């Protein structure tokens, strides 16, 4: 823009000037002295003081360089024909002087100049200054004299076309005249800095243009002059043009050249309409031919905001850079950037601006808010070597229209800045060869429309990148999130690519379109919902699934043929929290939508979270319902748990959770579901699948179609099946502690119910119940041998305790193999079809029990029938085969006639037990008596194979008469070995007489041993009679004999023994009650007689003559040593 200048006041003042003398420089005929103080240099000779001074107008003064060396005031100054005026005699090295022109100063013609060095307050103080074509005013502040100053007092500084104002210093403009007035009109060239060839970086310098004096604010700058526009402004390398004068809306229409490190600093707002700004910022120094120069420091536009409605800004080469430190509003014109534009202030570049990134290294650096609305803008220019950098506080907002390049092929750096992209196609692309890097430890953002991320995205340096724009990743995407950094999405689709790093990937509301793997240390899977489409798989390999550490708090949906793998490096569980869901929309059971994670992580559903199954599907990942739910929503559809193993800690688990139908729960072969909770769906397990209750109650309410193993684990485990079920749906029902309760169990399964624990559900035992440990089976309605009377009750190295009431007629099998089967509080009555097999085992009961079937005691070790204070009966229908010892403990046992015994084992009667053989009973095995053996029901006769009575055993014999059927008789077809006690009782008022003899024992193969003790207290005889026990080779007899005349039988009990010695000791020297020799005294000679007669059956010998009688104490010791039995015993 240009203006026509009219300064009425100035014209009037010039016309009113008084006339002054004219003096001209004549160089004194070529004098060597160029000093103004040399009066001979003037024509006429003299001082120029207060004159109108002309230099260069005389022929001899053409091109002269005159040196102003004094404090002169002149009326006017005119310089022409290449002459110069310099205000220093030594180029400003040591001096400078002020030239005061009280009127106009005019410099005209090629080479004519005024050179002002710094020092005095003003180097040139003039009313007006005209710099005409070819002429220059030069300010030089580079010397020690300081800032060069030109002051224009009352008029204007006019630079004509071809005229030049240049250098470093200050222009003071005071001539505004009280109103806004153009006091600097530039039709020529203003240059900050004194140019010329510069090899190295020049020192920084400033050319300042300012209003001065009291009227400074009215000073105006017409910086591009009048039409035709010829104005040029140059800001040379490392120089600053500081314009503090208002351009008063005069839009720049000239040519501005900004060099390396230069600054245009405008104090007042300004504009540009048809001018140009050329930026050339090659590095200082020599340029090697054939090589591009290096980039130098950027040129800068600083100060007040400015606008651009037209014109051109050009950065022609890759090494050029322009830094905008002032705010720009551009509505028109052209920007050609082949180098780097740096925005340190806000910029709004409208749709009317033709903004061209015109080079293959075109770059932007954004440190403020920059909006670019150029419709066909190409951010990466014509190549991929440029960069875009948005730093902290910077926002690059691209509103791209038709024809714009929406495919970014260069590198973008976000160092705390924001990139917003809006396009007519509603999407933009980061090309596969391009990249975005977020760095600097700050939070950067990408906003706008859909972002197709086909290139590299790196978040590093403890930084955060928030992608608010919808993002589409592809197979060429390469995403790296370094440790300490975060990549955060709003909405994203993933079609493969690489995702790695030690940082946090917040995947946003995500849709997985094709196979994708996230190998980032922390993947915030709950950062929005996730959908895995048909045919796609999502694999997450991470140290943590949630950056907050509280589990997954959003929904995940996997479509029919999609797959989801959540794998923690530690193998820890992946937890769903709150009310969030993993939803699978399946179709066929063979679709594995949850593959097994490499490190074994389970999917844990806590709180009220839900695994929703719509249709069929399979999980090879372990499922843990820790308060959460599994919903199998479609009737006739199945969900298969196929993860983990059957090893505790590596199974599917339910802990207070719920499994709902109406669909079916399947458990894969070799897999298990363990825990406590509620299953309201039908259960169908493949082959060896397991369903195990642990740590609480597991309610199975939906029925069981098939399962490999069903059972419990741990003392707190309770399996409650609420509907009747049959063990034939399982390979085995196994308790490992715990309890099975609930509805009727029909036990048809080949392996039945086994283990240790408690079964309180009613059982119809058609198969087997087996204790491996302590197993209690308790229910009053139990059918212990099943509907077919074929059930088995077995203990293998355990204790099977059966609890009921009353009596149960049992026709099944009981087996105790190194264990115990116990019927508690009821009789398990063994009917003739029953089988009791004991192999180092025990059958026990606290209720009287009849054994009417087969009893087999297998070889290997002793087995036991233990009656806890009660009785048992071997009924006449029973058959007992002893491959080893059968020990009868506690209580009593009765063997009926007809009861069969066979085998090489022994029937052993324990010390606490009584065995009664019925009259006529035959026990064709060795009977070993360590307890009590009784015969008949008073009296009785029985036969055995062999009979052995141990030292603690007792044989009970009853006599009722002398007829064979009137006294107890025990016969052995083999041997008898005797020890222990014989207890004799007289019954029915029987009173034996002398010489009555009873053969109570007989053994075809002989009798060995004797009874060690005889108890005949219940078999008293008449006085003078005694019992004589006769041990014959093949029998034992009891005979009634006359009492021998034993004079030493002091206690009159029929024998001489220790009791008689005790009697003698008490009587010695006191009376004659122990008088063996009838001398009326109890004396020493009586002791000698006791010695001779001590022992039953010892005949009466004549009294021995004894010369000496021992003291009673000595006799006592001897008597104790010789004492023995009371009943006469004879061997024949």
Residue reference for tokens 């040399």: 38
The C-alpha torsion from 1026 through 1032 and 1036 to 1040, rounded to 10°, is: -20
Residue reference for tokens 């919808």: 470
| Phi/psi at 514 (5° precision) | -135, 175
Helix axes 1112-1122, 1084-1093, angle to 10 degrees: 10
What pLDDT shows up at residue 1114? 34
Q: What is the CA radius of gyration of the chain?
A: 63
What pLDDT shows up at residue 1079? 84
What pLDDT shows up at residue 1125? 31
Kindly report whether the global pTM for this prediction surpasses the value 0.85.
no
Q: With residue 55 as reference, give the H or E element that holds it.
A: strand 52-55
Instruction: Tell me the pLDDT tens digit for each residue of 639-655.
Output: 999 999 999 999 999 99
User: Euclidean distance between the first and final Cα of the chain, in Å?
Assistant: 162
Beta-bridge mates of residue 1001: 970, 1036
Instruction: Tell me the pLDDT tens digit for each residue of 196-254.
Output: 555 678 999 999 999 988 888 999 999 999 999 999 999 999 999 999 999 999 999 99
**Cis peptide upstream of residue 939 (ω within 30 degrees of 0):** yes
Q: Give CA–CA dist 450/856, Å, rounded.
A: 85
Closest CA to 165 of 196, 197, 203, 192: 192
Q: How many CB atoms lie within 10 A of CB 1039?
A: 18
Q: Give CA–CA dist 676/658, Å, rounded.
A: 9
Residue reference for tokens 């939803």: 583
Rounded alpha-carbon distances, angstroms, from residue 4 to 1, 181, 224: 11, 12, 11
Q: How many CB atoms lie within 10 A of CB 121?
A: 11
**Cis peptide upstream of residue 672 (ω within 30 degrees of 0):** no
Q: How many CB atoms lie within 10 A of CB 860?
A: 12
What pLDDT shows up at residue 196? 58
What pLDDT shows up at residue 1131? 40
Closest CA to 140 of 168, 165, 119: 168
For the chain, which residues score pLDDT lower than 50?
A: 1-17, 1098-1132
Q: Give CA–CA dist 676/557, Å, rounded.
A: 27
Rounded alpha-carbon distances, angstroms, from residue 1083 to 1061, 1063, 1069, 1104: 12, 12, 6, 14
Length of the chain equals 1132
Residues with Cβ < 8 Å from 768, sequence gap 6 or more?
747, 751, 752, 753, 754, 791, 792, 793, 794
What pLDDT shows up at residue 61? 87
Contact call for residues 980 and 932 (beta carbons, < 8 A): no
Q: Identify the sign of the CA torsion 1042, 1046, 1052, 1055.
A: negative
Beta strands in 766-841 (DSSP E): 768-778, 792-796, 799-803, 807-810, 813-817, 820-824, 827-830, 835-839
Q: Give CA–CA dist 673/309, Å, rounded.
A: 76
What pLDDT shows up at residue 590? 82
Rounded alpha-carbon distances, angstroms, from residue 286 to 61, 200, 204, 237, 399: 39, 8, 19, 14, 41
Residue reference for tokens 């491959």: 883
What pLDDT shows up at residue 9? 36
Q: Give CA–CA dist 822/449, Å, rounded.
A: 80
Helix axes 1112-1122, 1058-1067, angle to 10 degrees: 170
Q: Identify the sign of the CA torsion 87, 89, 93, 98.
A: negative
Closest CA to 1127 of 1011, 1018, 1032, 1034: 1011
């Amino acid at each position: 823009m240009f203006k026509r200048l009219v300064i009425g006041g100035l014209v009037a003042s010039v016309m009113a000037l008084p006339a002054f003398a004219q003096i001209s420089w004549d160089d004194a005929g070529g004098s060597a002295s160029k000093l103004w103080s040399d009066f001979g240099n003037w024509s006429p000779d003299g001082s120029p003081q207060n004159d109108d001074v002309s230099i260069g107008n005389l022929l001899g003064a053409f091109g002269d360089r005159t040196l102003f060396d004094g404090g002169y005031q002149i009326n006017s100054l005119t310089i022409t024909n290449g002459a110069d005026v310099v205000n220093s005699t030594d180029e400003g090295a040591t001096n400078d002087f002020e030239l005061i022109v009280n009127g106009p100063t005019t410099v005209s013609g090629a080479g004519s100049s005024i050179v002002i060095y710094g020092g005095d307050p003003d180097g040139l103080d003039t009313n007006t200054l005209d710099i005409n074509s070819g002429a220059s005013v030069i300010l030089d502040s580079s010397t020690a004299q300081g800032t060069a100053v030109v002051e224009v007092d009352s008029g204007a500084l006019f630079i004509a076309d071809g005229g030049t104002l240049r250098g470093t210093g200050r222009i003071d403009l005071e001539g505004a005249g009280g109103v806004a007035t153009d006091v600097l009109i530039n039709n020529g060239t203003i240059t900050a800095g004194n140019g010329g060839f510069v090899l190295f970086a020049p020192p920084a310098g400033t050319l300042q243009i300012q209003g001065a004096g009291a009227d400074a604010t009215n000073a105006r700058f017409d910086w591009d002059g009048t039409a035709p526009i010829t104005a040029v402004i140059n800001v040379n390398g490392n120089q600053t043009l500081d314009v503090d004068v208002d351009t008063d809306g005069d839009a720049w229409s000239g040519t501005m050249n900004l060099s390396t490190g230069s600054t245009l600093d405008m104090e007042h707002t300004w504009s540009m309409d048809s001018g140009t700004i050329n930026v050339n910022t090659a590095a200082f120094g020599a340029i090697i031919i054939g090589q591009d120069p290096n980039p130098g420091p950027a040129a800068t536009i600083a100060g007040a905001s400015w606008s651009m409605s037209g014109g051109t800004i050009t950065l022609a080469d890759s090494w050029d850079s322009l830094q905008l430190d002032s705010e720009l509003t551009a509505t028109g014109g052209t920007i050609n950037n082949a180098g780097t534009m740096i925005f340190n202030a806000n910029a709004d570049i409208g749709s009317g601006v033709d903004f061209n990134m015109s080079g293959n290294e075109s770059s932007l650096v954004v440190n403020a808010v920059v909006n670019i609305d150029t419709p066909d803008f190409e951010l990466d220019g014509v190549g991929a070597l440029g960069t875009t950098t948005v730093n902290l506080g910077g926002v690059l907002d691209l509103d791209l229209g038709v024809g714009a390049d929406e495919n970014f092929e260069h590198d973008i750096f976000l160092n705390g800045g924001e990139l917003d992209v809006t396009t007519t196609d509603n999407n933009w692309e980061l090309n596969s060869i391009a990249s975005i890097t977020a760095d600097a430890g700050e939070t950067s953002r990408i906003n706008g429309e859909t972002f197709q991320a086909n290139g590299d995205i790196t978040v590093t340096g403890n930084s955060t990148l928030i992608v608010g724009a919808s993002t589409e990743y592809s197979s060429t995407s390469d995403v790296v999130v370094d440790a300490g950094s975060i990549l955060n999405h709003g909405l994203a689709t993933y079609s493969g690519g690489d995702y790695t790093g030690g940082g946090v990937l917040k995947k946003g509301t995500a849709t997985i379109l094709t196979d994708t793997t996230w190998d980032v240390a922390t993947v915030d899977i709950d950062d929005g919902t996730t959908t895995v489409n048909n045919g796609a798989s999502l694999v997450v390999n991470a140290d943590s699934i949630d950056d907050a550490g509280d589990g997954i708090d959003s929904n995940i949906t996997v479509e029919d043929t999609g797959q989801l793998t959540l794998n923690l490096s530690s193998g820890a569980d992946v937890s769903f929290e709150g009310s969030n869901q993993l939803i699978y929309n399946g179709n066929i059971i063979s679709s594995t939508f949850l593959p097994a994670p490499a490190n074994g992580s389970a999917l844990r559903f806590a709180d009220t979270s839900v695994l929703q199954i719509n249709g069929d599907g399979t999980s090879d990942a372990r499922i843990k319902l820790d308060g959460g739910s599994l919903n199998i929503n479609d009737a006739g559809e199945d969900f298969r748990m196929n993860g983990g193993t059957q090893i505790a800690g590596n199974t599917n688990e339910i802990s207070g959770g719920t499994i709902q139908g109406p669909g079916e729960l399947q458990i894969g072969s070799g897999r298990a579901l363990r825990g406590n909770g509620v299953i309201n769906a039908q259960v169908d397990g493949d082959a060896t699948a397991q369903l195990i209750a642990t740590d609480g109650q597991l309610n199975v309410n939906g029925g069981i179609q098939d399962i490999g193993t069903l059972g419990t684990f741990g003392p707190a485990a309770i399996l409650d099946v609420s509907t009747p079920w049959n063990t034939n749906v399982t390979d085995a029902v196994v308790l490992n502690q715990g309890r099975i309760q609930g509805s009727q169990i029909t036990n048809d399964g080949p392996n039945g119910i086994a283990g240790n624990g408690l079964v309180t559900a009613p059982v119809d035992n058609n198969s087997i119940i087996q204790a491996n440990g302590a197993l209690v089976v308790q229910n009053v309605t139990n059918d212990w041998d099943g509907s077919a009377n074929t059930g088995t009750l077995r203990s293998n190295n355990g204790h099977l305790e059966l609890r009921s009431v009353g009596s149960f007629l049992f026709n099944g099998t009981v087996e105790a193999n190194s264990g115990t089967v116990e019927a508690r509080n009821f009789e398990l009555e063994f009917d003739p079809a029953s089988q009791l097999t004991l192999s180092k085992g025990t059958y026990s009961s606290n209720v009287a029990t009849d054994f009417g079937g087969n009893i087999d005691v297998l070889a290997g070790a002793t087995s036991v029938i233990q009656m806890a204070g009660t009785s048992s009966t071997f009924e006449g229908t029973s058959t007992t085969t002893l491959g080893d010892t059968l020990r009868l403990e506690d209580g009593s046992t009765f063997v009926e006639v007809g009861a069969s015994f066979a085998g090489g084992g022994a029937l052993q009667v324990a010390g606490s037990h009584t065995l009664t053989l019925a009259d006529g009973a035959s026990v064709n095995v060795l009977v070993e008596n360590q307890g009590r053996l009784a015969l008949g029901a008073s009296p009785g006769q029985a036969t055995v194979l062999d009979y052995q009575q141990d030292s603690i055993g007792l044989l009970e014999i009853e006599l009722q008469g002398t007829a064979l059927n009137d006294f107890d008789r025990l016969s052995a077809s083999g041997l008898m070995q005797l020890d222990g006690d014989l207890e004799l009782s007289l019954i029915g008022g029987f009173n034996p007489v002398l010489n009555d003899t009873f053969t109570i024992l007989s053994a075809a193969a002989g009798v060995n041993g004797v009874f060690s003790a005889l108890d005949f207290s219940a078999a008293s005889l008449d006085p003078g009679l005694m019992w004589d026990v006769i041990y014959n080779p093949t029998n034992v007899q009891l005979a009634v004999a006359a009492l021998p005349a034993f004079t030493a039988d002091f206690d009159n009990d029929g024998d001489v023994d220790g009791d008689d010695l005790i009697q003698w000791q008490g009587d010695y020297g006191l009376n004659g009650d122990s008088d063996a020799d009838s001398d009326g005294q109890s004396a020493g000679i009586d002791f000698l007689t006791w010695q001779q007669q001590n022992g039953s059956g010892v005949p009466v010998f004549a009294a021995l003559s004894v010369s000496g009688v021992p003291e009673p104490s000595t006799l006592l010791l001897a008597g104790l040593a010789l004492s023995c039995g009371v009943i006469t015993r004879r061997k024949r």
